[in-house]
Structure 1
Amino acid sequence: MARSLLPAPDARGPFSPGFWRSPLRGTWFTSVLGVVLLAGVTVLFVTGLLSYAAYNPDLSPVNDKTPDKGILGFYLFSWPTDPPWLYRLTQGVHVTLGLALVPVLLAKLWSVVPRLFTLPPTRSLTHALERISLLLLVGGALFEFVTGILNVQLDYVFPGSFYPLHFYGAWVFFGAFLAHAVLKAPVAFRNLRRMREGGEERADGQADALAAPRPDPPTVSRRGALGLVGGGSLLLLATSAGRSFDGPLRQTAVLTPHGGPEPGGGPNGFQINKTAAYAGIRADETGEEAWRLAVTGRSGTVRLSRADLLGLPLHSAALPIACVEGWSTSDQWWRGVRLRDLAALVGHDDPVDVFVESLQRRGAFRHAALRANQVGDPRSLLALSVNGEELTPDHGHPARIIVPAAPGVLNTKWVARLTFGAL
């Protein structure tokens, strides 16, 4: 019988170094991926914290989706209104970069997977702590990327609310990531210096701890493998970034779907996340005869019809809408009553926080709160029309909030009540 040309499988399985035979694994390959992740994950962490701050979570309990955050909320500040595209930029970068880094993360985990099967599991207390931090790093990375991708895809299959899960998970992951980076970054940069000097292998004559002791014949070089990883990242970038733009580029974003139908043409022909039907809005409660806006403040409550609101001084502002899922629109021309004018109508000459209530019956953020600095911005409106046309039901008719630089869910649609100074 002819002898098989394939190597016999190692009897001890993945716990034996001989089990791992890919010629691509090596310190240089892992170092390149690690340096890319060091930069990319740092940007993801910072933009993620900014996204959380944009919700003004200290306006408890209305906007606070992560109770008992304690010292983890040390950095929180009143979210600014300038530049008006701030949230569009930070969240667009966060989501698009997160998707583009998926191939890099998977390649990095593949490159070090033999380390997870080393024997003995621990050799010392220091080694045990390193192994624990590695488990937190790998588990945290997978958790953050998986929950983030599911949120972009609007598949809320994880238990509980996305906001606290992603927030707490980010701190666990980044803590482990920071510890790992402090330990491994010097080695990674030394290896990159050697690469610039013309070699991929260790220059000190020691064995490459990540290289297979008995590698199979190569079918692609390590540089070729990095090219495949980079090509995968560019493909994900090209098929997701378009949701941050209008026009033809939007059709290229096949990997970042959204909640509502594709917008049609005309003045109201831009992105919709929640439709009136999804939110449970009935036509009989938004008609001219039925709908009244209740505005409450220091001097009491006034009730205003759309005709009453149209009789007040109207102002216009060009503002985008940006959502946590990563999509955004370009500037739309909104027209309506300034929030600070409505505050003054009920006795607040100086801007104060406002509690906004919607007719919405289903979905998250049926209520929202805005900071005094947001109320005081002259571009913050209770919008009645957009791009020269009355709001459609899906865009929040009879009235909606629009605030510069605020996350989309704080631009409440189908507004029923504004309570100034209640927080």
Structure 2
Amino acid sequence: MRRPALPPRFPLPKAPPPPVFTGRLHDPRTATVVGRALGVAVAVCFVTGLVSHYLQQPPSWASGALPSRPVWGYRLTQGLHVASGIAALPLLLAKLWTVYPRLFARPAVRSFAHALERLSVGVLVGSVLLQLVTGLLNTVQWYPWPWNFRPAHWALAWVALGALLLHLAVKAPVIAAHWSRRSSGTREPTGADGPDRRSFVAAVAVATGAVTLTTVGQSVTPLGRAALFAPRSPEHGPQGLPVNRTATAARITPLLLADWRLQVAGPRPFELTLTELRAAAQHSAVLPIACVEGWSRNAHWTGARLRDLLDRAGAPADARLRVVSLEPEGAYAVTEMGASYARDPLTLLAVALNGHPLSLDHGYPARIIAPNRPGVLQTKWVTRLEVLL
């Protein structure tokens, strides 16, 4: 009996060879040039992020020593934080473009040092991308994730820093060899796969400058008209000032404002009606409101000096202060202020903005305004001041 004929055998297809990348856009010198600019942007973003974090949530031992001057300090550092983070995005994409062919290098792992390098790169790219993208979304107050942004942003910054330091340590010889044209010791090769290095670097610089200049105007007033992509225009809002959290969002209702009184709790507690607060000695100051999203603007504030209220309550000179808002709930409905802020002569319990009584969205009947302080801590709808002994 004959066996049935077997179907003809076809050779299995061979795996395609790994792609071959040539040209100066993917060489170590280009990666180093772009990496230097990216490193500066990331360093500025990290340092200014530390400043922002500690001004918002200082350790207990430093809460009374935070500087209230210069008055524009937080405006500068937070503006730099957001601007450098935005500038880092095109720089990071350019950096990834220069090195992505290494993903196809074979063998995938050649040694322990090479494995360490790849691991550091994976953690570095993932953490920095996530950090920059979520930070960008924070500027427009969009949070499509389940976690709390601020502590996650803080923790991820340290992960990214650790991965960056490990990567720099592993790649130090390559970086040193290609830090400058002289140190590389080679002439630029002639490539046929696109623009040369200078054109590429120039294009990256233009792209980085464009995205920065079209957003930084939200905190740099002279560039305000160029801020085409900024999430906030500092010129637009009630009484000429933007609002992040409206009275409606904070659930401030007429019922909460009925019979409003300011309670000051201390060794000599007292209460003031709005009429009495306005009748107290009034002082004016031009101070910026600067928010974590990066926008800021100067405004003319009028109200009672906080230190005058503390003196009337018998507060010691080094006493801290707890500020309570009418806002029923919220991350900053209750804030604390160290003596360096509370005793600054420019710190006001403001009742007027730009020559007019506060609007409801700006904290009517009274709000805190202090120099060199994050906007989220400039408590609105203040109803109680508590001296902390």
Q: Which amino acid is the alignment partner of residue 317 of structure 2? A: D
Q: Which amino acid is the alignment partner of residue 264 of structure 2? A: V
- Give, in whole Å, the separation in 2 of the partners of 1:224 and 1:196: 21
Q: 2:267 aligns with which of 291, 298, 308?
A: 298
Q: Are residues 1:136 and 2:103 paired?
A: no
Q: 1:256: how far off?
A: 2.4
Q: Percent identity?
A: 40
Q: Are residues 1:262 and 2:236 paired?
A: yes
Q: Would you say the 8 A contact 1:104–1:233 is kept in 2?
A: yes
Match of 2:277 in 1: 309
- Give, in whole Å, the separation in 1 of the partners of 2:18 and 2:180: 28
- Give, in whole Å, the separation in 2 of the partners of 1:76 and 1:22: 55
Q: 1:349: how far off?
A: 3.6
User: Rg larger in 1 or in 2?
Assistant: 2
Q: 1:326 aligns with which of 289, 294, 319?
A: 294
Q: Are residues 1:31 and 2:32 paired?
A: yes
Q: 1:356: how far off?
A: 1.1
Q: How does 1:2-401 map to 2 (within 5 A)?
A: 12=15, 17-20=18-21, 24-59=25-60, 78-194=65-181, 200-201=187-188, 217-246=192-221, 249-258=223-232, 262-263=236-237, 268-286=239-257, 290-299=259-268, 301-330=269-298, 332-361=299-328, 363-401=330-368
Give a deviation string over 1:322-348, Cα, whole Å, max 9, x none: 011000002x22111121222222221
Q: 1:193: how far off?
A: 2.6
- Give, in whole Å, the separation in 1 of the partners of 2:370 and 2:187: 52
How many matched pairs?
Answer: 377
CA separation of 1:48 and 1:356: change in aligned 2, threshold 3 A: same
- Give, in whole Å, the separation in 2 of the partners of 1:412 and 1:76: 17
CA separation of 1:80 and 1:133: change in aligned 2, threshold 3 A: same
Structure 1, gaps ≥5 residues long: 1-9, 60-73, 203-210
Q: Which amino acid is the alignment partner of residue 262 of structure 1? A: H
Q: 1:22: how far off?
A: 6.3
- Give, in whole Å, the separation in 2 of the partners of 1:298 and 1:77: 20
Q: 1:58: how far off?
A: 2.3
Q: 1:218: how far off?
A: 2.1
Q: Which amino acid is the alignment partner of residue 265 of structure 2? A: T
Q: State the SS of the aligned residue for 1:50.
A: helix
Q: Would you say the 8 A contact 1:50–1:90 is kept in 2?
A: yes
Q: Runs of 4 or more off by more than 6 Å in structure 1? A: 74-77
- Please tell me the root mean square deviation across aligned C-alpha atoms, in Å: 2.8
CA separation of 1:90 and 1:12: change in aligned 2, threshold 3 A: farther
